[in-house]
Amino acid sequence: MLRQFLLGGAVSLGNIAIHAAVMATVVGTARRALKWEHHRPQAWLAAAMVATVGILMVAHVAEVGVWALAYALLGVVPPGADILYFAFVSYATLGYGDVVPVERWRLLGPMAAMNGVLLFGWSTAVIFEVMRQAMRHRDQRGGP
Protein backbone atom coordinates (compact mmCIF):
# COMPACT_ATOMS: atom_id res chain seq x y z
CA MET A 1 0.00 0.00 0.00
CA LEU A 2 2.84 2.40 0.78
CA ARG A 3 4.25 1.86 -2.71
CA GLN A 4 0.89 2.85 -4.23
CA PHE A 5 0.80 6.04 -2.16
CA LEU A 6 4.38 6.95 -3.03
CA LEU A 7 4.00 6.32 -6.75
CA GLY A 8 0.54 7.92 -6.90
CA GLY A 9 1.88 10.89 -4.97
CA ALA A 10 4.82 11.21 -7.37
CA VAL A 11 2.52 11.19 -10.41
CA SER A 12 0.22 13.69 -8.71
CA LEU A 13 3.13 16.01 -7.92
CA GLY A 14 4.32 15.74 -11.52
CA ASN A 15 0.87 16.78 -12.70
CA ILE A 16 0.78 19.62 -10.20
CA ALA A 17 4.10 20.85 -11.63
CA ILE A 18 2.70 20.69 -15.17
CA HIS A 19 -0.41 22.54 -14.05
CA ALA A 20 1.57 25.19 -12.18
CA ALA A 21 3.67 25.92 -15.28
CA VAL A 22 0.57 26.18 -17.48
CA MET A 23 -1.24 28.34 -14.92
CA ALA A 24 1.67 30.76 -14.59
CA THR A 25 1.82 31.06 -18.38
CA VAL A 26 -1.94 31.58 -18.76
CA VAL A 27 -2.16 34.24 -16.04
CA GLY A 28 0.97 36.04 -17.24
CA THR A 29 -0.21 36.02 -20.85
CA ALA A 30 -3.67 37.25 -19.85
CA ARG A 31 -2.13 40.13 -17.90
CA ARG A 32 0.04 41.14 -20.86
CA ALA A 33 -2.87 40.80 -23.27
CA LEU A 34 -4.94 43.17 -21.14
CA LYS A 35 -2.55 45.95 -22.16
CA TRP A 36 -3.33 45.49 -25.86
CA GLU A 37 -5.54 48.05 -27.48
CA HIS A 38 -8.85 46.48 -28.55
CA HIS A 39 -11.94 48.13 -29.94
CA ARG A 40 -14.46 45.34 -29.33
CA PRO A 41 -14.21 44.53 -25.60
CA GLN A 42 -16.91 41.84 -25.65
CA ALA A 43 -15.24 39.98 -28.51
CA TRP A 44 -11.86 40.32 -26.81
CA LEU A 45 -13.26 38.95 -23.56
CA ALA A 46 -14.79 35.99 -25.39
CA ALA A 47 -11.53 35.30 -27.24
CA ALA A 48 -9.54 35.51 -24.00
CA MET A 49 -11.87 33.06 -22.28
CA VAL A 50 -11.89 30.59 -25.19
CA ALA A 51 -8.07 30.69 -25.31
CA THR A 52 -7.79 30.25 -21.54
CA VAL A 53 -10.18 27.31 -21.38
CA GLY A 54 -8.65 25.71 -24.49
CA ILE A 55 -5.15 25.84 -23.03
CA LEU A 56 -6.37 24.42 -19.73
CA MET A 57 -8.13 21.57 -21.52
CA VAL A 58 -4.87 20.71 -23.29
CA ALA A 59 -3.09 20.75 -19.92
CA HIS A 60 -5.66 18.35 -18.45
CA VAL A 61 -5.30 15.98 -21.41
CA ALA A 62 -1.52 16.02 -20.90
CA GLU A 63 -2.02 15.24 -17.22
CA VAL A 64 -4.30 12.33 -18.08
CA GLY A 65 -1.51 11.18 -20.41
CA VAL A 66 0.92 11.22 -17.48
CA TRP A 67 -1.42 8.97 -15.51
CA ALA A 68 -1.85 6.68 -18.52
CA LEU A 69 1.93 6.43 -18.91
CA ALA A 70 2.31 5.55 -15.24
CA TYR A 71 -0.43 2.94 -15.54
CA ALA A 72 1.28 1.43 -18.58
CA LEU A 73 4.70 1.30 -16.90
CA LEU A 74 3.29 -0.26 -13.73
CA GLY A 75 0.85 -2.68 -15.40
CA VAL A 76 -2.11 -1.20 -13.53
CA VAL A 77 -4.93 -2.25 -15.85
CA PRO A 78 -5.65 -5.80 -16.98
CA PRO A 79 -4.25 -6.91 -20.36
CA GLY A 80 -6.36 -5.72 -23.26
CA ALA A 81 -7.92 -2.83 -21.33
CA ASP A 82 -7.69 0.70 -22.71
CA ILE A 83 -5.20 2.47 -20.45
CA LEU A 84 -5.95 5.98 -21.71
CA TYR A 85 -9.68 5.43 -21.25
CA PHE A 86 -9.14 4.22 -17.68
CA ALA A 87 -6.90 7.23 -16.98
CA PHE A 88 -9.59 9.61 -18.28
CA VAL A 89 -12.48 8.10 -16.30
CA SER A 90 -10.37 8.04 -13.15
CA TYR A 91 -8.99 11.58 -13.51
CA ALA A 92 -12.42 13.02 -14.38
CA THR A 93 -14.00 11.08 -11.47
CA LEU A 94 -16.50 9.34 -13.74
CA GLY A 95 -15.53 5.94 -12.39
CA TYR A 96 -17.64 3.87 -14.78
CA GLY A 97 -16.21 0.68 -13.31
CA ASP A 98 -16.01 -1.13 -16.64
CA VAL A 99 -12.19 -1.17 -16.33
CA VAL A 100 -10.86 -2.07 -12.90
CA PRO A 101 -7.18 -1.89 -12.01
CA VAL A 102 -5.33 -4.99 -10.92
CA GLU A 103 -5.64 -5.47 -7.18
CA ARG A 104 -2.08 -4.54 -6.20
CA TRP A 105 -2.55 -1.06 -7.80
CA ARG A 106 -6.17 -0.46 -6.84
CA LEU A 107 -5.48 2.81 -4.94
CA LEU A 108 -4.07 4.57 -8.00
CA GLY A 109 -7.51 5.11 -9.53
CA PRO A 110 -8.82 7.07 -6.52
CA MET A 111 -5.52 8.96 -6.30
CA ALA A 112 -5.90 10.00 -9.94
CA ALA A 113 -9.47 11.12 -9.18
CA MET A 114 -8.27 13.20 -6.24
CA ASN A 115 -5.58 14.74 -8.45
CA GLY A 116 -8.13 15.53 -11.15
CA VAL A 117 -10.58 17.14 -8.73
CA LEU A 118 -7.86 19.38 -7.31
CA LEU A 119 -6.56 20.40 -10.73
CA PHE A 120 -10.05 21.01 -12.14
CA GLY A 121 -10.78 23.23 -9.16
CA TRP A 122 -7.52 25.11 -9.71
CA SER A 123 -8.40 25.56 -13.38
CA THR A 124 -11.81 26.92 -12.44
CA ALA A 125 -10.18 29.47 -10.15
CA VAL A 126 -7.82 30.61 -12.91
CA ILE A 127 -10.62 30.84 -15.48
CA PHE A 128 -12.55 33.04 -13.06
CA GLU A 129 -9.45 35.18 -12.36
CA VAL A 130 -8.74 35.75 -16.05
CA MET A 131 -12.38 36.71 -16.60
CA ARG A 132 -12.34 39.01 -13.56
CA GLN A 133 -9.18 40.76 -14.73
CA ALA A 134 -10.51 41.16 -18.25
CA MET A 135 -13.83 42.57 -17.05
CA ARG A 136 -12.14 44.95 -14.62
CA HIS A 137 -9.84 46.17 -17.38
CA ARG A 138 -12.81 46.61 -19.72
CA ASP A 139 -14.73 48.57 -17.07
CA GLN A 140 -11.74 50.84 -16.38
CA ARG A 141 -11.57 51.70 -20.08
CA GLY A 142 -15.26 52.48 -20.19
CA GLY A 143 -16.33 49.49 -22.30
CA PRO A 144 -19.86 48.01 -22.33
Spell out the domain ranges in the chain: 2-140
Q: Tens digit of pLDDT for each residue in 17-45?
A: 999 999 999 988 888 877 776 677 777 78
Q: How far apart are CA 24 and CA 129, in angstroms?
A: 12
Q: How far apart are CA 30 and CA 54, in angstroms?
A: 13
Pick the CATH number of 2-140 from 1.10.3470, 1.20.1630, 1.10.287, 3.40.50: 1.10.287
Q: Average pLDDT, whole number, for the chain? A: 90
Q: Tens digit of pLDDT for each residue in 48-101?
A: 889 899 999 999 999 999 999 999 999 999 999 999 999 999 999 998 889 989
Residue 97 has φ and ψ, to the nearest 5°, of: 85, 5
Identify which has the larger pLDDT, 134 or 4. 4
pLDDT of 3: 94
Cβ-contact 63, 19 below 8 angstroms: yes
What is the CB neighbour count within 10 angstroms for residue 25?
A: 12
Model pTM above 0.75: yes
pLDDT of 143: 55
